[in-house]
Structure 1
Amino acid sequence: MFWKKWMLLTLVLVGVILVGSIVLAQEKPKLNIWGRASFAPAQAYWVNSVLYEWAQEKGIDVKITWIPVGDIAAKVVTAVASGTEPDMVIGGMPYTKFAESGLLLPLDDVVDQLGRDDFFEVILQMGTINGKIYAIPMGWEITWLHIRKDLFEKAGVMDLLPFDNEEEVVQAAEKLTGVEEGVYGIGLPLGGTGYDCAWTFLLYWYGFGGGMMTERSSKGVVFGQEPYRSATKRVFAFFKDIYERGLTPPDSGEWVDISNNLAFLDGRVAMTSNPMSIWYAIMTGKPELVPKTLIVPDAFPINLGQESNFIFKSTKNPDLAKEALMVILGDKEKYRQGWCEQSQLYNLPIFKSQMQVLSENWKQGKYPVMLMDPYEAAMRIQFDEWPMTYPLGEATSVMEDFENGWMINDMVIRAVVRGEDPDKLIDEYDAKLKEMAKENYGE
């Protein structure tokens, strides 16, 4: 009797094992992907279309979650801290701190497969940490000065374009303010949350010769030293002059990322610096502004395209994650059309070959709103936004935390809106940066 029960139990166990094996064999490989939802929704639509089609053909279970611009950094950091990070991120951030901690997969093989020589060097630099590439930006996100051509002509300041220095910016803003009822000369983001305040600060800070670190150590922090101290004070004085004289809307100190976009679209400001998300909004929802708008190079343009693709080492399917990157970037023409052109050039291509196509199109009159060849505009860029750190010239987690922690925003609000002493602020934030560098890299 005992042996019969034993045989029955054995058969049951064998059956369970066989059924379990069949279920496991039938289970699809999975990829959990997060993406940064930009101000040009067409980009997300295009990525969804190509990746879901690829997943269906490969028999892969792909889930793509798009997270708002202002939320993605905090969500990624929280997910990593709790061990619930996605397999990969598309056009997101942060990534430097994860690369420095050994949490990301190197992507040099993907870059080589795509053709290293076809990348712009500055694009690869943004994702290079300690000699290896851990992040591939989705595109150039160049700052352009969006102007209301009709208001510039009415104020008689068209001859000042393009601006060569901040004095010309102020001169134009003075004449544009009040050129029509309710119009302010410039939209200057000064709010405490949102990246526009931080990158607008960086735009002029780098242009004036600002800098933060010379090496990965607390001793390498030079934020409070000359000539970098004077550059910071110069930005504060420039912003404060515009704010206190009412050349920017009085609520600028409360603006978030979308605020200067809306101010331009609503006709409250005659000019503002921004990537081409404003132009995307005009083309998709404000056609009456098309003939009234021009896009010219900023006095000190920078590249904001740090939003990158990266893969966490914890993924169970690293080869599939890299293949997904190749699906997005491998067909360079489709990438240019789907990611760049469908977003009205909110992003410019990371590949020289595709930027050359845009250049030829511009020369043939395809983009009359742009007063400069996009290829030439990209080549004018000398600085990238965070996590690039100058004068070091490399990505660092200190710069990443400096911006993601809204420290730049806080500093600008205190100096410009609240009128605190700039030297005391510089000393305070110099000390904070040294402490951050010491914690991350040591003395």
Structure 2
Amino acid sequence: MTLSRRDLLLGTAGLAAGAAGAQLLGSGPAFAQAAAPAYKPEQGASLRVLRWTPFVKGDEDSWLANTKKFSDETGVQVRVDKESWEDIRPKAAVAANVGSGPDIMLVWFDDPFQYPDKLMDVTDIATNFASKYGGYYPGLEGYAKRDNKFIALPLAAIGNGILYRESMLQQAGWSKFPEKTDEFLEMCKALKAKSKPAGFALGKAVGDGNNFAHWIVWSHGGKMVDESGKVAINSPETIKALQYARELYQTFIPGTESWLDINNNRVFLSGDISVTANGVSLYYSAKNDPKMADMAKDIRSTTLPVGPVGQAVELHQTTSAVIFQYTKYPNAARAYLQYMLDKPQMDAWITASSAYCCPPLKGMIDNPVWTSDPVHEPYKRASSTLRTNGYAGPLGYASAATMADYVMVDMVAEAATGQRTPEEAAKRAEQRANRYYRV
């Protein structure tokens, strides 16, 4: 079967088909505390899970340790594979369309909306978790719920924040990181002139590129669509945002238009830039390397500056777990996610992730990890402040496809680099978005 790019973006519309009836699990010790309903894995069941490559070692170590506990209790062997962040989306789309591949995948943003009828309905698990743990944060729930049914289980928001070198800001004449976008631009000008420049991803980076581009546009009042889902990106507010992006880009280190999620990490750790936006993983890359001890002591964190809209508006990397309908072992897959996403395992995972992952349920946010290091604090807000990429309209096929096609990222990069004028870039983004929102 040959898949076109449109096939990968489109998936197949429709609701997730009803799941097979549940069979109650026995009284094994690990599941005695699990949220009901629990599922009994099929005889001889085995699972394949595909997740994203970790940026924090503790994340993967804890995930694998929890997986082993599940296998020890149930006898279900689970193979956990990993792929780069950029490869998760196309691999999930291929698996959905050909009906073969991993049983479970950890996917990004509103990817489940590209192929909703290929996914299992996990509403019973999600609603039970919600009632048990104080409800989901709205943004994460929005990424997993379609027409009042959960086609995915919210897993985490990977917080996006500013990381900077305090000494370099001081060398440039700034004793405090600015809270407003206009002051932020002036600081970046000073950094380029007197110290080390800033650098933010403008390439097709699933996390950092999307986070930065959406912040630029949202902070100035722009939006991809209005409340009804009509494309509204070509607006005066967006033009102002792109003009700002053009000015800001001229203070960056060269080459950011080609950066993927790994690039700003590498350049920051090399000492060539003083400011970037990233997960807390960047801090730990320095802290865990004895050769970078002095750099780690110099790193500070904060939230992204507030623009003309007057409030913090940010996109955070969001991940959900999906079960494909083609799985041979649906009850084993349900049991695995019900175990992995319950509070005992989630608490251990969030702690081991060192503030990299923010939980989806309000009853799980009270974790000592947020106060264990001052650099962690800004990342605690990720789940509660998350704005979905489909803002201000509903999530669905169109928002997922527009995100997967990097319409927002390309628009900001084109205007920032001068490849197109702000007006040209906004017009092109409007035309591209309309391909999906008119379906």
RMSD: 2.5
Deviations 1:339-390 (A, max 9, x none): x22222111222323322338x62xxx2222465x55x34772523x3xx11
Select 2:352's aligned residue among 315, 339, 342: 342
2:221 to 200, 209, 213: 209
Partner of 1:22: none
| Among 142, 155, 167, the residue aligned to 1:150 | 167
2:62 corresponds to which letter in structure 1?
Answer: W
Please, which of 246, 253, 260 is the counterpart of residue 249 of structure 1?
253
Residue aligned with 2:156, SS: coil
Matched to 1:170, the amino acid is L
The aligned residue for residue 50 of structure 1 is 66
Q: 1:192 to 1:34 in 2, by over 3 A?
A: closer
Q: Tell me how far apart the structure 1 counterparts of residues 91 and 222 of structure 2 sit (CA, whole Å).
A: 30
Write the distance in 1 (CA, Å) between the matches of 2:85 and 2:57.
12
Offset of residue 31 of structure 1: 1.6
DSSP-derived class of the 2:286 partner: helix
TM-superposed deviation, 1:314: 2.2
Q: How many Å apart are 1:170 and its aligned residue? A: 0.8
SS in 2 for 1:356: coil
Cα 1:68–1:190 shift into 2, 3 Å:
same
CA contact (8 A) 2:108 2:320 kept: yes
**1:200 partnered with 2:212:** yes
CA distance in 1, matches of 2:216, 2:425: 18
1:140-289 alignment to 2 at 5 Å?
A: 140-159=157-176, 161=177, 163-180=178-195, 183-184=196-197, 186-192=198-204, 194-214=206-226, 220-224=230-234, 229-244=235-250, 247-285=251-289, 286-289=292-295
How much does 1:215 deviate? 6.0
For the 8 Å contact 2:316–2:382, the answer to whether it is kept is: no
Residues 144 and 301, structure 1, Cα contact 8 Å, conserved in 2: no
Amino acid of the residue matched to residue 305 of structure 1? Q
SS at match of 1:115: helix
CA offsets 1:286-308 (integer angstroms, 9 cap, x no match):
33322101111112452423211
Structure 2 unaligned segments of length 5 or more: list them.
Answer: 1-41, 306-311
Which residue of the partner structure matches residue 298 of structure 1?
304
- Give the aligned partner of residue 390 of structure 1: 391
Change (3 A) 1:326 1:64: same
Shift of 1:275: 1.9
Cα distance in structure 2, aligned partners of 1:254 and 1:296: 25
Going from structure 1 to structure 2, the CA distance change for 1:269 and 1:190 (only over 3 Å counts) comes to same
> Does 2:101 correspond to 1:85?
yes
Cα offset for 1:96?
1.3
Q: Indicate how the Cα distance of structure 1 residues 269 and 380 shifts in structure 2: closer, same or farther if over 3 A, else same.
A: farther
How far is the alpha carbon of 1:238 from its aligned partner? 1.5
Distance 1:327-1:92 versus aligned 2 partners, 3 A rule: farther
Q: Which residue of 2 is the match for residue 410 of structure 1?
A: 410
Task: Write the letter of the residue equivalent to 1:190.
Answer: L
Asked whether 1:139 is paired with 2:151, we answer no
- Equivalent pair of 2:286/2:296 in contact (CA under 8 Å): yes
Instruction: Give TM-score, length-normalised by structure 1.
Output: 0.80
Offset of residue 27 of structure 1: 7.0
Contact (CA 8 Å) 2:51, 2:81: kept in 1 or not?
A: yes
- Maintained 8 Å contact 1:36/1:92: no
Question: Compared with structure 1, are the counterparts of its residues 379 and 329 closer, same or farther at alpha carbon in structure 2 (3 Å cutoff)?
Answer: closer
1:319 aligns with 2:328: no
Correspondence 1:400 to 2:415: no
The residue number in structure 2 matching 1:113 is 128
Q: Is the 8 A contact 1:55 1:61 kept in 2?
A: yes
Q: Distance in 1 between matches of 2:356 and 2:70?
A: 25
Offset, 1:167: 0.6
Q: Decide which structure has greater helix share.
A: 1
Structure 1 Cα separation of the partners of residues 328 and 228 of structure 2: 32
**What secondary structure, in the 3-state scheme, does the structure 2 residue paired with 1:272 have?**
strand
Q: Which runs of 5+ in 1 are unaligned?
A: 1-25
User: Is the contact between residue 145 and residue 271 of structure 1 (CA under 8 Å) also seen in structure 2?
Assistant: yes
Amino acid in structure 1 at the alignment position of 2:47:
L
CA offsets, 1:79-98, max 9 Å, x none?
Answer: 22222132211355621111
Cα deviation, residue 195, structure 1: 4.1
- Give the deviation of 1:171 after TM superposition: 1.3
Number of residue pairs matched? 387
State the one-letter code of the partner of 2:247: D
Match of 2:210, SS? Answer: helix
Q: 2:48 maps to which residue?
A: 32
Deviation readout 1:64-88 (Å, 9 max, x if unpaired): 2111111111111122222213221
Q: 1:113 to 1:192 in 2, by over 3 A?
A: closer
Q: Any conservation in 1 of the 2:208–2:277 contact (CA below 8 Å)?
A: no
Q: Which has the larger radius of gyration?
A: 1
- Displacement, 1:148? 0.6
Matched to 2:56, the amino acid is: A
What secondary structure sits across from 1:250 in the alignment?
coil
Counterparts of 1:433 and 1:91, CA distance in 2: 22
Query: How is 1:415-430 mapped onto 2 (pairs within 5 angstroms)?
Result: 415-430=415-430
Shift in CA distance, 91/263, structure 1 to aligned 2, threshold 3 Å:
same
